[in-house]
Structure 1
Amino acid sequence: MKRILQTILVLFCLVSPVAAVDLVYAPEPVDNPLSGLVPYVGADGRDQFPHSMEFRYFAFDALMRNWGQFDFGAIERTLQQTSGRGNQLILRIYLEYPGKNNAIPSFLIDEGVGVTQWKSDDGLNHTPDYQSPVLRRAMREFIAAFGKKYDGDPRVAFIT
């Protein structure tokens, strides 16, 4: 049995090169959407490679001003830019990011959300107490408002 399998394998290897096909390049539009390299919105060199999505960070404090008060203007303007170029937006909303300013809404700090400050090579960083019920309530409220506004919006590719 082992001898038969070896013989079949040798015959296959001898016959396979004979059946090779020469492939010729045929240019076509990019047909692998929602994957691959993704430039930042407004990045230099953005047009040097094909892409269907762009990426941008948004600070939480710029989007949630107070309880029930949301400002989606920056997201909306960015969505208009990216969709105007025929692309979708990947967005990330952050509360903390090394090297960036504090993104914790001041009304949450005023309501007692603890903040730990620490130094890194990027400067002074601010980390909120993620166990805080006040912060968690704010995040739930924001997610609900964001979902109500953008659920099913074809301009949004992903939220990371």
Structure 2
Amino acid sequence: MKKLCMYGLIAAILLFGAACSDGSTAPPEEKPAVILEEIDEVLPNPFKGFVPWVGSVNTIYQTKLQYKTYEWRDVESQEGIFDWSAFEQNWGNIALTGRRVGFRISAVTPGSGNAYDIPDWLAAKGVALRGYSIDGHQGLAPDWDDPLFLEAHRNLLLALGARYDGDPRIAWIDIGSYGFWGEWHVYLNDTLAASQASKQIILEHYFEAFPNTPKVIAFDDDFATAYVAAHGGG
């Protein structure tokens, strides 16, 4: 027992001597310092700043982007027949000025002046329409869980993507289609909410149709925001 204690004492002395042989301890590791330089110029960060609506002009604030929401009923007034004229006119004019566009598809646009914003033919097929009221506007919203709605939505997105995915005029596509103004909320109208399964199907349509175009989404729905972020969107 005494021998074991002696060996332990010797080992401790040797370790202490090794640590203090030069009379000092090792200096702490220095962390790199970054000095930020203050500038007065506008930082040219991609997609930074305000984004005005398509067609608006601001001579004071020069922006590189413009934005537009399109109602589904105006894009596909007949099943399988798509009217791209509004896209081409808007985007062609924007491209001439060196700008790019972000855009969204909406299935419910309160204040649009329409009773509902899905195509008439889709309503005639039997997709349920349910009343809503928000911000002084009343109208009819589709049942987002209806298989007829989801099938028609996929066909719309695939046609849109086949024509415009990767188009250099597009800065990003806003993942819309669900909720008021395509903003992924049904504020004060909770009975209209889609199931999580249907929300995911709608999200998948965008990623299937636009693999090469940046995709963003409003942050009003936690599930959708997390899904988009996990799949490389913003």
2:172 matched to 1:155? no
Which residue pairs with 1:6 in the alignment? none
CA distance in 2, matches of 1:84, 1:34: 18
Contact 1:33/1:52 (CA < 8 Å) preserved in 2?
Answer: no
| 5+ residue gaps, structure 1 | 1-19
CA distance in 2, matches of 1:159, 1:62: 18
Q: 2:91 is aligned with what amino acid? A: L
Q: Which has the higher contact order (CA 8 A, sep 6+)?
A: 1
Which residue pairs with 1:108 in the alignment? 122
Q: 2:90 is aligned with what amino acid? A: T
Higher strand share: 1
Partner secondary structure for residue 167 of structure 2: coil
1:5-154 maps to which residues of 2 (within 5 A)?
31-44=44-57, 46-100=58-112, 101=114, 102-154=116-168
Change (3 A) 1:115 1:24: closer
TM-score after normalising by structure 1: 0.77
Alignment: residue pair count: 140
After TM superposition, give the deviation of residue 24 of structure 1 in Å: 7.2
Task: Provide Cα deviations, 1:56-85, integer angstroms capped at 9, x if missing partner.
Answer: 111100001233211111011111111111
Task: Provide Cα deviations, 1:108-154, integer angstroms capped at 9, x if missing partner.
Answer: 01000011122333321221000111111111001111111001100
CA distance in 1, matches of 2:72, 2:152: 10
In terms of Rg, which structure is larger? 2
| 5+ residue gaps, structure 2 | 1-34, 175-234
RMSD: 2.5
Runs of 4+ in 1 over 6 A off after TM superposition: none
Q: 2:173 is aligned with what amino acid? A: I
Sequence identity, in percent? 28
